[in-house]
Amino acid sequence: MGPSGAAELSANTRRAYRTGQRNWRSWASGRGLPEFPARPGDLQRWLAALAAQGKRPDTLRTYHAAVAHWHRGLTGPNPARDPEVLRLLDSLARQAAAQGRANEGPDPLRWSQIRQIADTAHQPRRNQPGGRLETATRARRRGGIEIALIAVAHDASLRCSQILALRWKDVDAPQHDGLGQIHVPHPTAAQPATAPISEFTDQALARIRPPDADPGQRVFDFSANTATRRIKAAAGAAGIDPANITASSPALGMAQDLAAYRAEMLDLVQTSR
């Protein structure tokens, strides 16, 4: 965690604090500023920059608490508890509320972030009883499931109930265009809709498919709470703030990726005229 201990914190709090501290340290080091001890003025600039990026008040408070906890053992005043820093934190929360941003929905997980997750998902985590580090074999298996879960939810814009209803019979092999597809479960539709999936996602699913998979077997055989927990953990391990990540985040990311793609195509058309 840093200079001060964290034994009394829950596992979720430790993960959130590590994310906040990494963010602060990256921001400060990138500007040649002291990370520890921090200076109140630099912390104010950092919090303002986070707010400008669209971070929600709850995230700002978590990140601020992470830095405050990191400085707990410091001799002298804690810079994160400086009155001006606390006043700015309150002011940013009021501004967000006035702009209607205090209670927005989940954060999206966009394609670039999914690639970050793929790069870190297989790293062993301390998620075993007693805080023990998982084995490399277990980490590879767990990471493969998380990558496939998030990638297919993104590509096919699936809700959590649809993700968990997927069975291996719903996953088709790549077509002549190189794209695979899935049949999207829908409780009221006579025939399920189909959605294309990328080569990356097709390969991620192939890696976790048992050699003797029953076509009727669920692809992701766990609960909605477990799905959300695993997506949050994968995001946090990749350095993505997990506070507002939910099972809906991959589908929201797909919507933003499509919107960005359309905007790029429109720019190309207008430029070529």
Q: What is the CATH number of the domain that holds 90?
A: 1.10.150.130
For the entire predicted model, the pTM comes to 0.62
165 and 64 in a single domain? The answer is: no
pLDDT value at residue 215: 93
Q: Is-contact 116 239, C-beta < 8 A?
A: yes
SS3 183: strand
Element (H, E) at 196: strand 193-197
Provide the pLDDT for residue 268: 55
* Among candidate residues 41, 64, 98, the one where a domain is terminated: 98
**Under 8 Å between Cβ of 157 and 108:** no
| CATH classification of the domain holding 258 | 1.10.443.10
Query: Does residue 18 sit in the same domain as residue 145?
Result: no
How far is C-alpha 271 from the geometric centre of its chain's CA atoms? 35
| Alpha carbon distances (Å) from 17 to 61, 117, 142, 246 | 11, 19, 23, 19
Please check whether residue 104 lies inside any domain of the structure: no
Q: What is the pLDDT, as a whole number, of residue 44?
A: 93
| Residue 19 within a domain | yes
In a domain, residue 4? The reply is no
Domain that holds residue 228: 111-264
23 φ/ψ angles, rounded to the nearest 5 degrees: -65, -45
Same domain for 117 and 246, yes or no, is yes
Residues 153, 237, single domain; the answer is: yes
Q: What is the pLDDT of residue 256?
A: 83
pLDDT at 28: 92
Q: Which DSSP state fits 80?
A: G
Residue in the block written with tokens 């009883």: 129
pLDDT by residue, tens only, the chain of 273 residues: 444 444 456 676 778 888 889 999 999 998 999 999 899 999 999 999 888 877 888 888 889 988 998 888 777 888 998 899 988 888 888 887 777 655 556 788 999 899 999 999 999 998 888 878 999 999 999 999 999 999 999 999 998 999 999 999 999 876 655 578 888 876 555 566 888 899 999 999 999 999 998 999 999 999 999 999 999 999 988 888 888 889 999 998 898 888 777 766 655 555 555
The single-letter DSSP state of residue 132 is: B
Q: What is the pLDDT of residue 25?
A: 92
Give me 175's structure tokens. 């077509």
